[in-house]
Structure 1
């Protein structure tokens, strides 16, 4: 409850976006294969950014 007004960190924003894209990818996988593949590629492009931010956060 106390985190209600807390701003999301950059990592949390990217992870949320990743989850959203993966959900859309799953839903489209049986309907539109091309669009599904695009969503999957977009989600996979976020992984290195998330890992890079996590490593930078661990160092600090």
Structure 2
């Protein structure tokens, strides 16, 4: 069964697009992980600041 020239052309066009989509999905996953880490750091900083405020206000008495 022969492959039509239109199919070959479409496949050649889709191949770079597919690679580009895969690159974007990989970058998106990496950025999502970085965002989770950054949000975790912010939560930790908030907790530390809250503890320091509690200690400075004499809340442990």
Same fold (TM over 0.5): no
User: Greater helix share, 1 or 2?
Assistant: 2
- Give the alignment's TM-score, normalised by structure 2: 0.43
Task: Please identify the structure whose Cα radius of gyration is greater.
Answer: 2
Taking structure 1 as the reference length, the TM-score comes to 0.44
